A and B are shown apart, each in its own frame.
Chain A
Amino acid sequence: MANRRQTIQHPRQAFNLKLYLHIHLHSFFSSLGRLARAPFNFMMTVGVIAITLSLPAGMLVSIENLKAVSGQIDLTHNLSIFLKHTVSLDKAKELANTIESDHKVAQTTLIDKQAALEEFRQHSGFGSALSSLGENPLPHVIQVSPVISFNNPAALKSLVIELKQHPEIKLVQMDMSWLERLNALLHIAQRGVTLITILLGIAVLLIISNTIRLELQNRRAEIDITRLVGATHAFIKRPFIYSGFWYGLLGGIGACLLVTLALWLLDGPTNALSSLYNSPFSISYMSFGSIVFWLALSVILGIVGSWVVVTRHLNDLEQ
């Protein structure tokens, strides 16, 4: 039986690369031609895919931009060192110079407790209350800006531990916590976008599957006839899978265009805002890598979506 089955295969069809490529090129362009013949339906589906994918793609690029903002924040005055009350101003100046000589530190600023008290008296409105206090409750404070390479939470923490070795120092406070919170929030947002990407990716898969299913119904007679004259499943599937490919590719291109358009619209106002803050920040567009990622994702969704539907349909037809 097994041997006999061999004989009904196609002995003359030794693998021929040129012919194979020819068949594929034919399906490739004829599927595009078929889609172009019903441009309205085609563009509607492509539009839905583009909008669906532009949501996660847009969110992701926004998060990248926010990360860039948080990275560019000037970290002067990252650390505030509160000295003990017993430390004199001269001693404090000396300590500030010592700390500044550390290679990890870019700059130190000493805030004299007397000057600080005067400032506080003027601006806080507690002037009379402060006068009733016998002595200045404020300590000297040294503000430390680390060098750029130590501008991350972990390195700063190690710097804090080193600084605490000095006996004159009572407390070291990191002004980093809000930055850490922002980073944590961005992390959550990123996780959220991943989930949204998965959900909307499934949505795209369903959209493409359904579109191909309708196409299968419309071309039912054609499929029956090609089956009757001896078409293999692969032959029948090919144009539909190429249709899925085109939906995916053009939907992906549409999504990238939508995101770029949105960023372009935001570019002007953002530049105006960042110039008010004297910030060099400007919106960064989708990177080449992320464009490739979104195109690849949507092409894969297109191919998988159509393949599943066509395979199921053909298996239902054949006994």
Chain B
Amino acid sequence: MLQFINVSKRYPAGGADALKNVNFELGQGEMAFLTGHSGAGKSTLLKLIALLERSTQGQVMLDNQNIGRVAKRHVPYIRRKIGMIFQDHRLLHDRSVFDNVALPLIISGHRHQEIHRRVRAALDKVGLLGKEQRLPISLSGGEQQRVGIARAVVNKPPMILADEPTGNLDPALSAEIMQLFEQFNQVGVTVLIASHDLALINRMGYRQLTLANGEMVTSNG
């Protein structure tokens, strides 16, 4: 599903490499955690997959396709295969929960009834059914994160990337969010979660990819 081959990334401004010669492979339907200290390169690695950045060297393969080489105009279609979840939720605060979750479907041009059905299904899965018309600001942090998750999965992407999804949540809420990811993984979605909540990760027992100073130090769980 996802493969990094000798990937390096250097930002033009700073001198040091954010990623150095990273190699790993994530199989179809696999779930893994990406760990490491702040600044180890976790976010950079996720950005390379979502094409928010491009690698300086090496190949990032998604579905056997070198996405580092795709033309700009194809980038949106690659992003539609990936559900992205962020620590700060990245919700539109002037739109209702429904409109936020519906955004990926509107973008890919689904029909009205289809949008309604899928948004309700996604909100049901994250336990927010009945709160469609609320504004994100009126929800708790954990609920806002669920809205972000619903938005990421509403399009049924084959892969979910989460960048510190539990960073601002207490342990109980964090565990609930992680259970959600497990549920998506059980229906065949490939999941990669960047997190430094080692206690939680170790308890869950999935494969861990550990970055240190831009290098992949362990890639086996």
Which residues from B are CB-within-8-Å of A235? 76, 107
Which residues from A are CB-within-8-Å of B77? 8-10, 230
Tell whether, in the assembled complex, residue B111 and residue A8 are in contact, meaning their CB atoms are under 8 Å apart.
no
Q: Check if A13 is an interface residue, CB within 8 A of chain B.
A: yes
Which residues from A are CB-within-8-Å of B103? 225-226, 229
Q: Check if B191 is an interface residue, CB within 8 A of chain A.
A: no
Which residues from A are CB-within-8-Å of B109? 13, 16, 19, 23
Instruction: Choose among A5, A16, A222, A229 the residue that contacts B71 (Cβ–Cβ < 8 A).
Output: A5
Within 8 A of A (CB), among B16-66: 50-54, 65
Tell whether, in the assembled complex, residue A231 and residue B107 are in contact, meaning their CB atoms are under 8 Å apart.
yes
Which residues from B are CB-within-8-Å of A162? none
Most buried by B among A221, A222, A230: A230
Which residues from B are CB-within-8-Å of A16? 109
| CB of A129 to closest CB in B, whole Å | 92
Within 8 A of B (CB), among A5-63: 5, 7-10, 13, 16, 19, 23
| CB of A122 to closest CB in B, whole Å | 87
Q: CA–CA, A168 to B51, complex, Å? A: 96
Which residues from B are CB-within-8-Å of A10? 77, 108
Q: Check if B72 is an interface residue, CB within 8 A of chain A.
A: yes
Within 8 A of B (CB), among A230-258: 230-233, 235
Most buried by A among B51, B69, B75: B75
Q: CA–CA, A190 to B153, complex, Å? A: 62
Instruction: Choose among A5, A226, A228, A231 the residue that contacts B74 (Cβ–Cβ < 8 A).
Output: A5
Which residues from A are CB-within-8-Å of B111? 19
Tell whether, in the assembled complex, residue B54 and residue A9 are in contact, meaning their CB atoms are under 8 Å apart.
no
Q: CA–CA, A296 to B52, complex, Å? A: 39
Q: Check if A319 is an interface residue, CB within 8 A of chain B.
A: yes
Q: CA–CA, A221 to B95, complex, Å? A: 13
| CB of B98 to closest CB in A, whole Å | 15
Q: Check if A1 is an interface residue, CB within 8 A of chain B.
A: yes
- The verdict on A318 contacting B75 (CB below 8 Å), with A229-B151, A235-B107 known, is yes
- The verdict on A231 contacting B54 (CB below 8 Å), with A1-B69, A225-B103, A226-B103 known, is no
| CB of B211 to closest CB in A, whole Å | 22
In the complex, how many residues of chain A place their beta carbon closer than 8 angstroms to a beta carbon of chain B? 26
For chain B, the bracket of interface size reads 20 to 34
Q: CA–CA, A4 to B77, complex, Å? A: 13
Name the residue on A nearest B100 (C-beta).
A225
| CB of B150 to closest CB in A, whole Å | 12
Within 8 A of B (CB), among A258-311: none
Tell whether, in the assembled complex, residue A230 and residue B107 are in contact, meaning their CB atoms are under 8 Å apart.
yes
Q: Check if B146 is an interface residue, CB within 8 A of chain A.
A: no
Which residues from A are CB-within-8-Å of B108? 10, 13, 230
Q: CA–CA, A10 to B104, complex, Å? A: 14
Which residues from B are CB-within-8-Å of A233? 73, 76
Instruction: Choose among B51, B72, B92, B155 the residue that contacts A222 (Cβ–Cβ < 8 A).
Output: B92
Within 8 A of B (CB), among A186-231: 221-222, 224-231
Most buried by B among A9, A19, A232, A319: A232
Tell whether, in the assembled complex, residue B84 and residue A229 are in contact, meaning their CB atoms are under 8 Å apart.
yes
- The verdict on A319 contacting B53 (CB below 8 Å), with A225-B92, A225-B103 known, is yes
Which residues from A are CB-within-8-Å of B151? 229
Instruction: Choose among A1, A19, A225, A230 the residue that contacts B90 (Cβ–Cβ < 8 A).
Output: A225
Which residues from A are CB-within-8-Å of B80? 229-230
Which residues from A are CB-within-8-Å of B53? 319
Within 8 A of A (CB), among B91-113: 91-92, 103-104, 107-109, 111
Q: Check if B79 is an interface residue, CB within 8 A of chain A.
A: yes
Q: CA–CA, A154 to B69, complex, Å? A: 71
Name the residue on B nearest A9 (C-beta).
B77
Most buried by B among A8, A19, A222: A8
CB<8 Å pairs between A and B, sample of 13: A5-B74, A13-B109, A16-B109, A222-B92, A226-B103, A227-B79, A229-B84, A229-B107, A230-B76, A230-B77, A230-B80, A231-B107, A235-B107
Pairs A-B, 3 closest by C-beta atoms: A230-B80, A230-B79, A229-B104
